[in-house]
Structure 1
Amino acid sequence: MKTIGIGLIGTGFMGKCHALAYGAVKAVFGDVPAPRLEVLCEVPSEKAAEYAGRFGFARSTSDWRDLIADPAVDIVCITTPNKMHKEMALAALAAGKHVHLEKPMALTIEDARQMAAAAAGARGRTITGYNYLHNPAITHARRLIDAGAIGRVVQFRGVIDEDYQADPELPWSWRAMREQAGLGALGDIGCHLVSIANALVGPVESLVAEMQTVHETRPVEGGGRKPVENEDIASALLTFRNGVKGLITASRSAWGRKSYIAFEVHGTEGMIRYDQERMNELHLYQNRGEVAEQGFKTILTGPAHPPYGEFVPAPGHQLGFNDLKVIEVHEFLRAIVEGREAKPNFTDALHFEEVIHAVARSAETGERVVVGLR
């Protein structure tokens, strides 16, 4: 396979990120088929044509079904609002296409399960857009844990905060509707934290949680206010399948926070700490040596932390958010070439969705919930 055809649905934040990543992946890594940017879909058709020219796609359409049916398209990238994910993904899988889907998978856990089942029986491969998992700092944290650098893991603590919904006068939008967005902070950003906890510690077995809607109404054009139907803040106490305990909290109303993903993995012999706002650093504490000299060591990512060196040959120059999507695309293309499952595929992402929906269910009932229980 020398080339592979790409179809992109959506041109927002993540649509542009996908276009940049598929355009760069061959130059960065070299060991994958060259992506052909074939078809871009957006509405109206004038906008589709404009962005096809900007992003470098050969053609444009305002009908996503035409994109999926196009024989030149091998991979369908879905970067649309959450409500559209299920129908588009199922149609692409039924057409034998590979599917690159942005998170969350769907509005409901039932829809996500249907999508995972369809993917399991489909010819095409799948991957979900959890690009933080591909940060060399986080993959190195996993290697440190596996090597016993902090002893036996006993606790995971994680926070993910942003302030894009902190202003009470921010106008009402589709993000406030369960029918359009599904869950709020959990579905938009909390699932990222769950994916990281899963990568470092393992699957979650059960949890007890609470949620809060900070701004219960938002202003609408023309006057008045409409209710917000989903959560601004969610927190949960976790029990992982391996017995490790954890704490996670997510907020979209945390003033001053800009993609703040921070976690600590505590072990019997040390601790690993990370902060996404300093995404090229990892902090390691080990209970070794002279007590008077103990402290956190800052590990600055560089070529010694693959695949950092594919982007730049010198430490300290740093990777960025869009680079993580290039690594994610590389993982997907290698999986397709090698005939294996990509990570994280729809089955992996289903667990992340089961966790966030368990958080919502526990918050509603006030009881501990077993993750994945139907």
Structure 2
Amino acid sequence: MIQNLVKGESIRVGMIGYKFMGKAHSNAYRAMPMFFPNAPKPVMKVICGRDEVGVKQAAEQFGWEEYETDWHRLVEREDIDLIDINAPSNAHKEIAIAAARNGKHLFCEKPLALNLVDAREMLAVAEEHQIKHMVGFNYRFAPAVQLAKKLIQEERLGKIYHYRAAFMQDWIVDPNFPLVWRLQKDVAGSGSHGDLGAHIIDLARFLIGEMTEVIGMSETFIKERPLPTSMTGLSAKGDASAQKGPVTVDDATLFMARFSNGALGSFEATRFAAGHRCTNAFEINGSKGSVRFDFERMNELEVYFTDDPEDVQGFRRVIATDPAHAYMNAWWPAGHGIGFEHTFVHEALEILQALEENRMPEPNFLDGVRCQEILEAVDRSITERRWVEIKEV
């Protein structure tokens, strides 16, 4: 049965996954009540993972009441309102569908599924069982990104002409870096395209709107890598025997797009940009102005308006930490920045407030499906070496 939530009640969370994203989500649930005391309070009931030693340690370290090693048992529990899924991508569909059928609301990390067919099925089941659902595109929740959205909505940038984005990392440049699960298509679904590209696609949809057609190219620079003996987050240890396995995902994918409003877009996702630790950046050009953002300087938005006096024209650096900016009245005094972890706190705030207010949170599974449509349209364009309309997939 669907858990009927009453305003003022706590929301009981069961989480599946306990490594990189598990730590980020756990921190969000713990921090949110301190800084957003009027929001629904999350109760960290159960954390779940296959390795009992690892998940028990995570439960103690992160502050969960209990741990579980079988997610099937977790989704059937009557004392859970919300299932948080941050396990590897190949586990998302089965867990989400089972949880929805047990009346649990869902918060699922991106990408929503390994492919579009699975993503659409997840959305259909969630809608059938009338549960609330959210997908984890955390970069939407940076206050500077929210400011960019506000400027566009208020038409202060005028008609939008260009959106260019790049998400660049360098953590696998070394050819001896082990074959972690993110480099295996059967587990991750895709490489930089689905991992990094999904984020900049979602930001494009959030800020600019829907795309109509795409054309792309991709490359896997290192075809084989040492097998790992252990993996934690984005780190791993290689096999002492130096046995290797094939890399089955892309190392870099680039594509161009047309938006339904007439704007043009360019997108680059790569893990082979030496010196770029986490450059998630975009620039938007409109008839009245432009904005630039780089997550490595996440508290800043560069803003330019064409109607500024000629002698002071140029990009201005806006520090998005004043109470005038989204979420910032809950944090620190003006000029005191926030970081990566705070985007997850804002995500948690959105899903918990949506549950209390009986509304659908944003972004939700529909946004996950729309993102997957674009990812697969790009894949088709690469295979067929042509422009592909989004409606074709």
TM-score tier after normalising by the smaller chain length = over 0.9
Q: Distance in 1 between matches of 2:243 and 2:40?
A: 53
- 1:243 is aligned to 2:243: no
**What's the offset of the Cα at 1:226?**
2.2
Partners of 2:297 and 2:157 lie apart in 1 by 22
Task: Report the RMSD for the aligned CA atoms in angstroms.
Answer: 1.3
Q: Secondary structure at the match of 2:266?
A: strand
Paired letter, 1:194: I
Q: Output the CA distance in 2 between the equivalents of 1:62 and 1:41.
A: 5
1:354 CA drift (Å): 1.0
Q: How does 1:335-350 map to 2 (within 5 A)?
A: 335-350=354-369
Comparing 65-74 with 215-224, which one deviates more in the overlay? 215-224
d(CA) in 2 for partners of 1:100 and 1:80? 12
Partner of 2:330: 310
Structure 1 residue runs of 5 or longer lacking an equivalent are: none
Measure, in 2, the Cα distance between the counterparts of 1:273 and 1:289.
Answer: 17
Q: Aligned equivalents of 1:297 and 1:198: distance in 2?
A: 25
Give the corresponding residue for 1:321. 340
Over residues 10-51 of structure 1, what are the superposed CA-to-partner deviations in whole Å (9 max), with x where a residue is unaligned?
111110111111122222212322211111112222322222
State the 1:322 CA deviation: 0.9
Contact 1:355 1:372 in 2 (8 A): no
CA deviation vs aligned residue, 1:123-182 (integer Å, no higher than 9, x gap): 321111111001111111111112222221111010110112211111122222221111
Q: Deviations over 1:94-147 (max 9, x none)?
A: 110011111111111111111111122223211111110011111111111122
2:109 maps to: 102
Question: Residue 372 of structure 1: CA displacement?
Answer: 4.1
- Percentage of pairs with the same residue: 34
Runs of 4+ that moved beyond 3 A = none
CA separation in 1, counterparts of 2:12 and 2:56?
Answer: 18
2: distance between equivalents of 1:183 and 1:370? 20
> Paired residues, what number?
373
Whether the aligned pair in 1 keeps the contact of 2:167 and 2:200 (CA below 8 Å) is: yes
Specify the alignment match of 2:371 in structure 1: 352
Q: Distance in 1 between matches of 2:141 and 2:182?
A: 27
CA contact 1:97–1:123 (8 Å) conserved in 2: no
Q: How does 1:14-53 map to 2 (within 5 A)?
A: 14-53=21-60
Q: Could you tell which deviates more after superposition, 288-297 or 225-234?
A: 288-297
* Distance in 1 between residues matched to 2:61 and 2:338, nearest whole Å: 24
Residue equivalent to 2:81: 74
One of 288, 292, 302 as aligned partner of 2:311: 292
Q: Paired residue for 1:210? A: 217
Unpaired stretches in structure 2, ≥5 consecutive residues: 1-5, 228-238
Give the C-alpha shift of residue 85 in structure 1.
0.7
State the Cα distance separating 1:230 from its structure 2 match: 1.1
Q: Report the Cα offset of residue 300 of structure 1.
A: 0.3
Q: CA deviation at 1:259?
A: 1.4
Normalising by the residue count of structure 1, what TM-score does the alignment of the two structures yield? 0.97
In the alignment, residue 300 of structure 1 is paired with which amino acid?
Answer: I
Give, in whole Å, the separation in 2 of the partners of 1:190 and 1:372.
19
Q: Secondary structure at the match of 1:32?
A: coil
- 1:301 is matched with 320
CA-to-aligned-CA distance 1:271-322 (integer Å, 9 cap, x gap): 111111000000011112332321111110121102111122x111111111
TM-aligned CA deviation for residue 224 of structure 1 = 4.1
CA contact (8 A) 2:42 2:352 kept: no
**Mapped partners of 1:225, 1:372: distance in 2:** 39
> Contact 1:163/1:255 (CA < 8 Å) preserved in 2?
yes
Aligned counterparts, 1:192-231, within 5 A: 192-220=199-227, 221=239, 222-231=241-250
TM-score, with length taken from structure 2: 0.92
